[in-house]
């Protein structure tokens, strides 16, 4: 149930925004040392330039009050989120925040913005901000541990030993460090959470709780930063970030030759391992099926072998996102029978064919394919011959899963092996 806030409650938050930080530095400014280290402000203390509502161009429900970004408390689970205009990949984020009594808010990152995602939290992890005692007293609801202050929401619990949390109406500081999958949360100068994203432990947590029906949760390697209005006034200031470098050149073996660890099936077709190869085979429903990596990739160089045992109508998807009913949106490098443009590129649920090779280089049995996606360019080699070199602005800045497709219609059996990838 949404709470009713008095003028005095909101005024208390406004008064809090007038205080200087503990070190005496004027809010929403950078020291010379910070600027030299690469820090930049995401809020200038006066306007909300660079921020907007999630999945929208405008901005409502948020305003600037005495040098702070302030949520008016009109938000809900389904609305009230503002995001940055820019995406961030590896970063160190620092934010001062002040909650109302019983307040509930959060800071999200790596948020993916698409019409299919109604709210940010189905893709972006959340650093939870909440006045636990006030919230439980007002709502009569006992919070679960994974909903409490400072959690990586529904994933990792913090250690709050030695942390002093200032009460509602006063300022606190939170930091998020995301460095090539290494994650740290800090609260008022104390590290409270540390973990590695996309490990077996991370996926076990994701797949066993709140996110088991949110297949794209936490997979993005970059995305928007987000502030949440969850029905309670909240204020933010000193929102600053320092970008960290990407570590490229990671060698990834996508298939271990033994089982389907690291892959997730979508659809009712058959996916299994046989004689050291991944097998995709039509099932009784004769529908579309996909075997998708559980991780995202953006720029990469990938090689693999395929064998079209029967029919062979398949594909190598990249920069793909999974939606309900086994719908995979992304680009497909065609793997097809002779005369059907193997090595060409097709945009699923989009523009259709982008390029169809005029000459194929298929051979009986096993074939070799290499796909290199770098920025706005995708190059494909089939059995050592370049068959596609396509530059398209839509490729630039995209990320997503790699997926192996089996086409509908039945009677198809395709095998894949030696799938190896290098991040660029």
Q: Would you list the domain boundaries of the chain?
A: 7-243, 251-423
- pLDDT of residue 2 exceeding 70, the answer is no
pLDDT given at position 302: 98
**Distance between CA atoms of 181 and 201, rounded to whole angstroms?**
13
286 touches 409 (CB < 8 A):
yes
- Residue with the larger pLDDT of the pair 295 and 3: 295
Q: What is the C-alpha separation between 125 and 267, in angstroms, rounded?
A: 27
CATH of segment(s) 7-243? 2.60.120.560
Q: Are strands 39-41 and 234-243 parallel, antiparallel or unpaired?
A: antiparallel
pLDDT of 196 over the 60 cut: yes
Average pLDDT, the chain: 93
Averaged pLDDT for residues 114-138: 96
Q: What is the CATH number of domain 251-423?
A: 2.60.120.560
**How confident is the model at residue 12, as a pLDDT?**
43
342-368 burial: b if 16+ Cβ within 10 Å, else e: bbbbbebeeeeebbebeebbbeeeebe
Q: What is the DSSP letter of 79?
A: B
Please tell me the predicted confidence (pLDDT) of residue 23.
Answer: 54
What confidence tens digit (pLDDT) does each residue in 398-417 have? 999 999 999 999 999 999 99
pTM of the full structure: 0.90
Do 7-243 and 251-423 show the same overall fold? yes
> Average of pLDDT values for 29-44?
98
Residue 208 backbone phi and psi in degrees, to 5 = -115, 5
Per-residue pLDDT averaged across 152-176, rounded? 97
pLDDT band of residue 25 (cuts 50, 70, 90) is confident
Structure confidence by residue, pLDDT tens digits, 225-282: 999 999 999 999 999 999 999 999 999 999 999 999 999 999 999 999 999 999 999 9
């Amino acid at each position: 149930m949404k709470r009713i806030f008095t003028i005095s409650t909101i005024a208390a938050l406004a008064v809090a925004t007038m205080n200087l930080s503990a070190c005496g530095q004027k809010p929403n400014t950078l020291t010379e040392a910070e600027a030299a280290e690469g820090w930049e402000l995401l809020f200038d203390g006066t306007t909300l330039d660079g921020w907007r509502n999630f999945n929208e161009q405008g901005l409502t429900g948020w305003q600037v009050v005495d040098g702070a970004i302030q949520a008016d408390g009109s938000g809900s689970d389904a609305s009230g989120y503002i995001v940055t205009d820019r995406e961030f990949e590896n970063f160190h984020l620092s934010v001062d925040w002040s909650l109302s009594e019983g307040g509930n808010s959060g800071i999200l990152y790596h948020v993916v913005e698409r019409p299919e995602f109604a709210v940010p939290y189905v893709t972006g992890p959340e650093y939870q901000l909440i006045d636990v005692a006030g919230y439980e007293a007002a709502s009569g609801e006992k919070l679960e541990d994974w909903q409490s202050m400072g959690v990586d929401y529904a994933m990792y619990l913090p250690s709050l030993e030695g942390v002093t949390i200032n009460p509602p109406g006063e300022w606190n500081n939170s930091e998020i460090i995301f460095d090539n999958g290494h994650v740290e949360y800090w609260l008022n100068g104390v590290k409270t959470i540390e973990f590695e994203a996309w490990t077996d432990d991370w996926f076990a947590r994701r797949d066993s709780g709140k996110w088991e029906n949110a297949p794209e949760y936490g997979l993005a390697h970059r995305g928007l930063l987000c502030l949440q209005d969850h029905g309670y006034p909240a204020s933010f200031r000193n929102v600053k970030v320092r970008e960290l470098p990407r570590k490229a050149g990671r060698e990834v073996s996508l298939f271990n030759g033994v089982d389907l660890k690291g892959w997730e099936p979508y659809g009712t077709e058959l996916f299994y391992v046989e004689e050291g190869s991944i097998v995709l085979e039509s099932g009784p429903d004769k529908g579309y099926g996909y075997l998708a990596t559980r991780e995202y990739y953006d720029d990469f160089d990938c090689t693999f072998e395929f064998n079209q045992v029967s029919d062979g109508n398949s594909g190598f998807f990249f920069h793909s996102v999974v939606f309900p009913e086994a719908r995979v949106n992304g680009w497909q490098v065609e793997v097809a029978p002779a005369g059907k443009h193997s090595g060409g590129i097709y945009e699923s649920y989009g523009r259709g064919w982008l390029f169809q090779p005029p000459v194929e280089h298929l051979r009986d049995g096993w074939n070799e394919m290499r796909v290199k996606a770098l920025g706005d360019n995708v190059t494909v080699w089939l059995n050592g011959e370049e068959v596609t070199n396509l530059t398209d602005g839509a490729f630039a800045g995209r990320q997503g899963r790699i997926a192996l497709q089996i086409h509908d219609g039945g009677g198809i059996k395709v095998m894949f092996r030696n799938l190896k990838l290098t991040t660029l």
